[in-house]
A and B are shown apart, each in its own frame.
Chain A
């Protein structure tokens, strides 16, 4: 059985799903619990191909509810457990994920977004932003990384495990069907070779000794008897979430200073935005780009600073305003000169379309429909 990773800083050609499976291995994951759904299936397929060689485990459960709760079970037993899902599966995952929020259990779930509502398409979308960030009954105590390419799928999957096990909040890596299926090269690495320390897993159940006498008892609760009891639990939890958020929040930004307009996007669409501002620059038009890398916590302060530099905005997403809602909340009470949008639920957005849109806005038009 191989114990060490088969690569050291190797450039390889993979699909996004494959990048995630290798990243989970690199992050020290022990077991995946999963239920098949396109477009995440190959995460499971590749993990099951890797598992025997590296002494890892896999269990296919009867549905996503079960996949979520068995993942929690694995974590309580001291294993780094994870799962992956999409679309309607992400809906079912909300119950176990809120349990992880309430009981402060680390958990990693990869979401490869597909079209919605309901079964819709298996292909692509950005319609799971609401679900990923705020889908549970509660306050959205989760971290959501929205990736844009295979290198990021690899890097942020590793990071997701570390953030989850460091701060004990559930972490989603929010990809999509395009990223899942696309093929591109990336550098795979062993985190140790880059000096990254992996946060250790710790068993909650089955520890030696007698709880309450020879060792402290662990009592994780997700049910409370009275209103005040719940309130007294939630408020410190919120404080810890906010404190974690300040350390975890991430964004990417380019050319916002002196820009005529800033394109705001996330995930794979931001690839089109980056390409568009480059092409616009060639045409002598200075456009900036802003991208939340963490959808939750949202980089509110960074966005406010960017908008103070350039108050003309174009929000683009493959959904009907799920990102735009977060942007508006972040900019509440801030002066904005213009707010255009391109909302294309379940459909990709190209750099050419963005170039055209920016030119139209400059000429006094609007992209809003």
Chain B
């Protein structure tokens, strides 16, 4: 049975970026890897522009094309059937769940949920004001029905520096301790590979991210 992982989190926490990179890291093992865009509120701003590029490198991407979308955000959207049944697909499935805690409820709509193998991770960027302290992160994570771990992903986009990553990581670790949850990964833009190396001192396996999402907004 393949991996079943859902990435949830605060708006603009880096969920999609992390989910894309995670899905890509699973490619090449012989099993099909499916990346599912589960932003029902605003599918226009998420994986849509990247679908072709990601499909070209072997990912199966379930995201509506702009011309396939019906509904306009506030008026609701039609749930893509292949997304609804995505937990039942063969191979590995990575879910990119949009729109914060409310978006997390979309999992209830999936066929096969609750799934025994599904693990839910909250992606946390401590440079986001609503998740800027351990207390705020704890409060935020508790709004989700179920969480299996945190992904530390503190960044300021193009303005990220090592201090932002390291300081943010400490905040996320403190929150994880309070929540009694593991930090499953410390994520950083791949341009910090030379500085962070194997991630010693970060307290979690370092995962270097290739950035895709900035192009979704161009």
Whether the pair A38, B12 counts as a contact (CB closer than 8 A) is no
- B68-125 residues with Cβ-Cβ distance < 8 A to A are 72-74, 125
29 interchain pairs, CB-CB under 8 A: A11-B127, A11-B159, A12-B129, A12-B132, A12-B156, A13-B12, A13-B156, A13-B157, A14-B12, A15-B11, A18-B11, A22-B129, A38-B42, A38-B72, A38-B73, A39-B73, A41-B73, A46-B130, A49-B130, A121-B72, A122-B73, A183-B12, A184-B157, A184-B158, A184-B159, A185-B127, A185-B157, A185-B158, A185-B159
Which of B45, B128, B158 has most A Cβ within 10 Å? B45
Distance, CA A49 to CA B45, complexed state (A) = 22
Within 8 A of A (CB), among B43-57: 44-45
A37 at the interface (CB under 8 A from B): yes
Is A123 in contact with chain B by the CB < 8 A criterion? yes
The residues of A that contact B130 with a CB separation of less than 8 Å are: 46, 49
- Tell me which residues across on chain A come within 8 A of B127, comparing CB atoms: 11-13, 185
Task: Bin the interface of chain B by size.
Answer: 20 to 34
CB-based nearest A residue for B154 = A13
Interface assignment of B155: CB less than 8 Å from any CB of chain A: yes
Please give, as numbers and ranges, the residues of chain A lying within 8 Å of B217 by CB-CB distance.
178, 181-183
In the complex, are the beta carbons of A38 and B74 less than 8 A apart? Answer: yes
Task: Mark A173-189 against chain B: 1 for CB-CB distance below 8 A, else 0.
Answer: 00000100111110010
A243 at the interface (CB under 8 A from B): no
A46 to B131, CA, bound (A): 13
Q: Which of A13, A18, A119, A182 contacts B125 (CB 8 A)?
A: A13
Q: Are A14 and B128 in contact (CB under 8 A)?
A: yes
A146 to chain B, nearest CB (A): 19
Taking beta carbons and an 8 Å cutoff, which residues of A are in contact with B? 6-7, 11-15, 18, 22, 36-39, 41-42, 46, 49, 119, 121-123, 178, 181-185, 188, 348, 350
Minimum-distance CB pairs A-B, first 8: A38-B73, A185-B156, A13-B127, A185-B159, A183-B12, A13-B156, A122-B73, A122-B72
Chain B interface helix/strand/loop/mixed:
loop
Complex CA gap A259/B158 in Å reads 31
Please, how many angstroms separate the alpha-carbon atoms of A37 and B73 in the complex?
A: 8
Of chain A, the residue at the smallest CB distance from B100 is A45
Interface centre among A38, A41, A348 (most CB of B within 10 A): A38
Q: In the complex, how many angstroms separate the beta carbon of A74 from the nearest chain B beta carbon?
A: 23
Minimum C-beta distance from A11 to chain B (A):
6
Question: Given the complex, which residues of A lie within 8 Å of B218, measured CB to CB?
Answer: 348, 350
Residues A18 and B129 in contact, CB atoms below 8 Å apart? yes
Q: How far is the CA of A181 from the CA of B46 in the complex (A)?
A: 10
Interface string of B25-63 (1 = CB under 8 A from A): 000000000000000001011000000000000000000
Which of A11, A13, A18, A188 neighbours the largest number of chain B CB atoms within 10 Å of its CB? A13
**Within residues 174 to 211 of chain B, which ones have a CB less than 8 A from any CB in chain A?**
none
Residue of B nearest to A37 (CB): B74
CB distance from B217 to the nearest CB of A (A): 5
**B residues in contact with A178, CB < 8 Å:** 217
Determine how close the nearest CB of chain A comes to the CB of B18; give it in whole angstroms.
Answer: 14
CA of A350 to CA of B72, assembled, Å: 25
Cα distance, A146 to B75, chains bound together (Å): 28
B129–A14 touching, CB < 8 Å: yes
In the assembled complex, how far is the CB of residue A7 from the closest CB belonging to chain B, in whole angstroms?
7
Kindly provide the distance from the CB of A347 to the nearest chain B CB, expressed in whole angstroms: 12
Tell me, rounded to whole Å, the shortest Cβ–Cβ distance linking B69 to chain A.
Answer: 10
Q: A15 touching B74 by the CB < 8 A rule?
A: no
Chain A residues whose CB sits within 8 angstroms of the CB of B73 once the complex forms: 38-39, 41, 122
Add 13 more A-B contacts to A6-B129, A12-B156, A13-B127 (CB < 8 A): A7-B129, A11-B159, A12-B129, A13-B155, A13-B156, A13-B157, A39-B73, A46-B130, A122-B72, A183-B12, A183-B157, A184-B159, A188-B129
Within the complex, the shortest CB–CB distance from A12 to chain B, in Å, comes to: 5
Query: Could you tell me the distance between the alpha carbons of A207 and B157 in the complex, rounded to whole angstroms?
Result: 49
Q: How far apart are A42's CB and chain B's nearest CB, in angstroms?
A: 7
Please, which residues of chain A bring their CB within 8 A of the CB of B159?
Answer: 11, 184-185
A266 to chain B, nearest CB (A): 19
A350 to B218, CA, bound (A): 8
